[in-house]
């Protein structure tokens, strides 16, 4: 992944984590509000100064976490969301709150559920169960400690509350395991779907290549060339020229008659190989039909097009098809230039007339449409 992509990914991750942290802060605020309601209602065992100090410590703990998120230090941890530390910290604060309450403990057992729900989508099942066990044993230990000190006002009610919390924590752990398994199956299905989509795209590219390519020579076919050439002509600037050439292999029928169609196919493949070696990357060569080929040379003037076709003619004349004994290979070419606003059919007609003159003039030569116009 490129550095710029990593920065964008980190920003998106941090934005999501800050939103989750904001939800946690909102939950803390509501619990602190409940704490002060209990204080005002006479249900809080300690003095107001204790509640004030506890509230300040809670705010400080959240400010410390916010500093980690705001400065990106959380990204150094294996879990950048810091879900487990936040859950454990919240369980600790909630258990401390329970020490200051007597009759209202059962009412605030639901806070344990809220805290555990915060990690149900992020924590692994084993980690979630560990946090649930810590929360349960913290609350049960609190009640056992008070029972040991003979400070438990209603042992039967305390036992019921411990059992209720046990059931809730077990149920949440099972539910978290189910949710994580479901997410894993959905992730696997998404990966499988993505793999199928990649396979389908690859098959589509192969199909497009088959549709656009001549099977024998590996060059573009006529239909694809006309589409490419039309697009290039539409985008041609007023001060630019493109070169267009029709190329015909000389005496090809004689080669087929004398050596067979397999030899003719080998000659066509030899021309395609020679052309690939002679042309530039941006040049477009296609099999136009039979032994006839068409060449588009972008950003080309008359001299450059002539030099390109002559180089191709000389290279093909010196080629030796493998397994075929042919006395002489040659080609004829008809050349023209494309200008902005030109019609492709008209340009092909000009090139075809120039090719006809090259054939009539003895073959193995390149004639240009502009020479015929000059004559």
As a 3-state breakdown, the chain gives helix, strand, coil percent values, each rounded to 5, of 65, 10, 25
Pick from 335, 374, 340: nearest CA to 354: 335
- Strands 331-338 vs 242-249: parallel, antiparallel or unpaired: antiparallel
By CB neighbour count within 10 A (0-12 exposed, 13-18 middle, 19+ buried), where does 20 fall? middle
3-state secondary structure of 296: strand
Q: Are 220 and 212 in contact (CB under 8 A)?
A: yes
Task: Identify the residue whose tokens are 């589509």.
Answer: 204
Q: Which residues are catalytic?
A: 291
Please enumerate in sequence order all residues whose Cβ is within 8 A of that of 252, keeping only pairs 6 or more positions apart, or say none: 264, 267, 290, 291
Q: Are 274 and 312 in contact (CB under 8 A)?
A: yes
Cα→Cα distances 10→19, 68, 70, Å: 14, 14, 12
Q: Which two tokens stand for residue 259?
A: 């050596």
Q: Which two tokens stand for residue 15?
A: 């934005």
Residues 196 and 239: their CA atoms lie apart, in Å, by 47
Q: Are 88 and 134 in contact (CB under 8 A)?
A: yes
Q: Which two tokens stand for residue 271?
A: 């021309």
3-state secondary structure of 121: coil
Cα→Cα distances 209→157, 203, 206, 214, 286, Å: 77, 10, 5, 9, 13
- Which H or E run contains 51? helix 48-70
3-state secondary structure of 286: strand
């Amino acid at each position: 992944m490129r550095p710029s992509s990593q920065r964008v990914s980190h920003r998106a991750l941090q934005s999501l984590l800050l939103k989750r942290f904001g939800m946690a802060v909102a939950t803390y605020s509501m619990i602190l509000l409940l704490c002060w309601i209990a204080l005002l209602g006479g249900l809080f065992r300690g003095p107001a100064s204790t509640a004030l100090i506890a509230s300040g410590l809670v705010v400080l703990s959240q400010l410390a976490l916010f500093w980690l998120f705001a400065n990106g230090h959380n990204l150094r941890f294996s879990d950048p969301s810091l879900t487990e530390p936040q859950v454990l910290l919240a369980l600790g604060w909630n258990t401390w709150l329970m020490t200051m309450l007597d009759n209202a403990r059962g009412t605030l057992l639901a806070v344990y559920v809220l805290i555990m729900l915060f990690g149900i989508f992020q924590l692994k099942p084993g980690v979630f169960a560990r946090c649930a066990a810590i929360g349960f044993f913290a609350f049960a230990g609190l009640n056992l400690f008070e029972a040991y000190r003979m400070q438990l006002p209603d042992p039967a009610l305390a036992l019921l509350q411990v059992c209720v919390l046990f059931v809730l924590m077990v149920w949440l752990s099972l539910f978290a395991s189910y949710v994580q398994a479901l997410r894993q199956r959905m992730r696997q299905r998404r990966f499988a779907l993505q793999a199928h989509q990649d396979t389908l795209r690859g098959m589509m590219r192969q199909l497009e290549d088959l549709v656009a390519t001549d099977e024998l020579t590996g060059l573009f076919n006529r239909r694809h060339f006309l589409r490419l050439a039309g697009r290039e002509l539409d985008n041609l600037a007023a001060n630019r020229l493109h070169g267009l050439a029709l190329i015909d292999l000389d005496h090809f029928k004689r080669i087929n008659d004398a050596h067979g169609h397999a030899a003719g196919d080998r000659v066509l493949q030899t021309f395609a190989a020679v052309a690939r070696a002679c042309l530039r990357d941006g040049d477009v060569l296609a099999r136009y039909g039979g032994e006839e080929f068409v060449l588009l040379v972008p950003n080309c003037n008359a001299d450059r097009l002539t030099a390109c076709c002559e180089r191709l003619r000389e290279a093909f004349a010196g080629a030796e098809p493998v397994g075929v004994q042919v006395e002489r290979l040659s080609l004829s070419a008809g050349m023209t230039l494309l200008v902005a606003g030109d019609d492709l059919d008209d340009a092909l007609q000009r090139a075809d007339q120039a090719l006809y003159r090259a054939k009539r003039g003895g073959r193995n030569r390149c004639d240009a449409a502009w020479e015929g116009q000059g004559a």
